[in-house]
């Protein structure tokens, strides 16, 4: 098999981003995926850090944090590249790492993220006089009255009105947001007619679940041109149309860029010569197959994705290259006494440490492989869930490793 310039292992956000960046540099790229990745479960928004100004907060992080290895230059460049890829699929994103943008959740609270889909940017809600919250008959886990009750805490001076519309989707059985988004793709006019019947004006806003199609902003564009009011999507429970739109935007970019994508490809080990990884071995039904490459990017995820496992307590293991995994030792440091505490969970800080080029290192800081780079949830040194940095670390580490 022909040698690739870059092999990326993993089809989540970090893997897709790494493959896209490498392809943009005119490198031959092979993407090996096993599973669908985490984007179908994601809101579509990219969190960099739980702070009013993530840029400033990143500067004060400890040296062991992944952001300190990635650096401000790569972080800034990654956000621009990410937004460019999404825009090419007519999926515009707004935001920057120096501020936070509000989006409305499925229960009516406001969540703040650094980079959000334009369809979810709720910044303009503060300027509206009246806010309509629209519920669809048969749609599970979306309740207009609950959303209004919670939004009133943020906007006590606004006029709220709920509406329930029936688009006769799937014969009246219960459906998810993903079902509705798929059914409305290329069939937007029934929803547009119902929303126009609200008679919402230019000073009003309409909040709906994330059902405006599964590819880019094409469905939203069709409906938006027929309304005077601003229209906003909320987040939802998985599967998430917003996350799937983003996944499809990246896959479209990769296909257009000539990236070779091999799905259902379980990488079982690396081919190693000294401090160089010359390829990876993929397990399939009939026999094993070797994919040679000049550079490898590991984006298999942490505990949640199976990139790191632990059969015995205090013995976490990286599953392909057997890289050293760093973790808080001792059961008392592994987790907090209470699940919801205002501090990181020890087990969530487990991961691989790297040098400034994101190459894995051992306990003494020695680089283990010169052409292997680790990105995304594989990286250790922080609780990405607690500090809300998973998306930002995914795209910025992928950019740094692939560039």
CATH of 106-234, one of 3.30.160, 3.40.50, 3.90.920, 1.10.357: 3.40.50
Its pTM stands at: 0.95
In the chain, CATH 3.50.50.60 covers 6-93+245-402
Q: List, for residues 89-105, the tens digit of each pLDDT value.
A: 999 999 999 999 999 99
Does domain 6-93+245-402 bear CATH number 3.40.50.2300?
no
| Gap between the Cα atoms of 298 and 371, Å rounded | 11
For CATH 3.40.50, the residue range(s) in the chain are 106-234
As a whole number of angstroms, the distance between CA 82 and CA 103 comes to 19
173 CB neighbour count, 10 Å cutoff: 8
What tokens does 402 get?
């692939």
Alpha-carbon span 124 to 110, nearest angstrom? 13
Among candidate residues 373, 376, 368, 400, the one with its CA nearest the CA of residue 296:
373
pLDDT digits (tens, 9 = 90+) for 342-388: 888 888 889 999 999 999 999 999 999 999 999 999 999 999 999 99
Q: Is 264 left (phi over 0), alpha (psi -120 to 50) or beta?
A: left
- Average pLDDT of the chain to the nearest whole number: 94
* pLDDT of res. 341: 78
Per-residue pLDDT reduced to its tens digit, 237-274: 999 999 999 999 999 999 999 999 999 999 999 999 99
Give the pair of three-digit tokens for residue 346.
């020890």
């Amino acid at each position: 098999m022909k040698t690739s310039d870059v092999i990326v292992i993993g089809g989540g956000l970090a893997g897709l981003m790494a493959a896209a960046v490498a392809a943009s540099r005119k490198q031959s790229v092979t993407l090996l995926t096993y599973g669908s990745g985490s984007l179908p479960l994601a809101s579509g928004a990219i969190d960099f850090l739980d702070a009013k100004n993530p840029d400033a907060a990143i500067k004060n992080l400890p040296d062991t944090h992944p952001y300190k290895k990635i650096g401000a230059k790569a972080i800034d460049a990654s956000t621009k590249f990410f937004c460019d890829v999404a825009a090419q699929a007519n999926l515009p994103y707004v935001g920057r790492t120096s501020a936070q943008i509000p989006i409305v959740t499925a229960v009516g609270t406001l969540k703040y993220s650094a980079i959000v889909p334009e369809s979810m940017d709720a910044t303009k809600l503060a300027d509206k006089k009246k806010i309509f919250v629209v519920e669809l008959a048969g749609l599970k886990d979306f309740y207009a009255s609950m959303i209004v009750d919670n939004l009133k805490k943020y906007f006590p001076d606004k006029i709220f009105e709920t509406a329930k519309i029936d688009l006769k989707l799937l014969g009246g059985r219960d459906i998810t947001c993903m079902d509705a988004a798929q059914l409305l793709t290329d069939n937007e006019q029934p929803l547009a007619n119902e929303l126009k019947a609200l008679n919402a004006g230019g000073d009003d806003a309409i909040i709906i679940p994330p059902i405006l199609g599964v590819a880019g902003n094409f469905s939203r564009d069709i409906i938006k041109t027929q309304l005077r009011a601003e229209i906003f999507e909320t987040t939802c429970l998985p599967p998430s149309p917003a996350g799937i739109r983003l996944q499809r935007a990246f896959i479209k970019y990769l296909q257009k860029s000539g990236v070779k994508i091999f799905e259902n490809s379980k990488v079982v080990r690396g081919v190693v010569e000294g401090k160089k990884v010359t390829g990876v071995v993929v397990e399939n039904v009939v026999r094993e197959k070797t994919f040679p490459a000049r550079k490898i990017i590991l984006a298999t995820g942490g505990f949640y994705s199976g990139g790191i496992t632990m059969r015995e307590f205090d013995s976490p293991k990286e599953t392909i290259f057997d890289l050293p995994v760093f973790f808080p030792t001792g059961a008392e440091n592994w987790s907090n006494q209470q699940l919801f505490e205002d501090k990181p969970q020890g087990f969530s800080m487990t991961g691989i440490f790297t040098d400034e080029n994101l190459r894995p290192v051992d306990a003494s800081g020695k680089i283990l492989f010169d052409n292997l780079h680790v990105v995304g949830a594989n990286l250790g040194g922080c609780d990405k869930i607690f500090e809300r940095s998973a998306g930002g670390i995914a795209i910025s580490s992928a950019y740094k490793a692939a560039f």
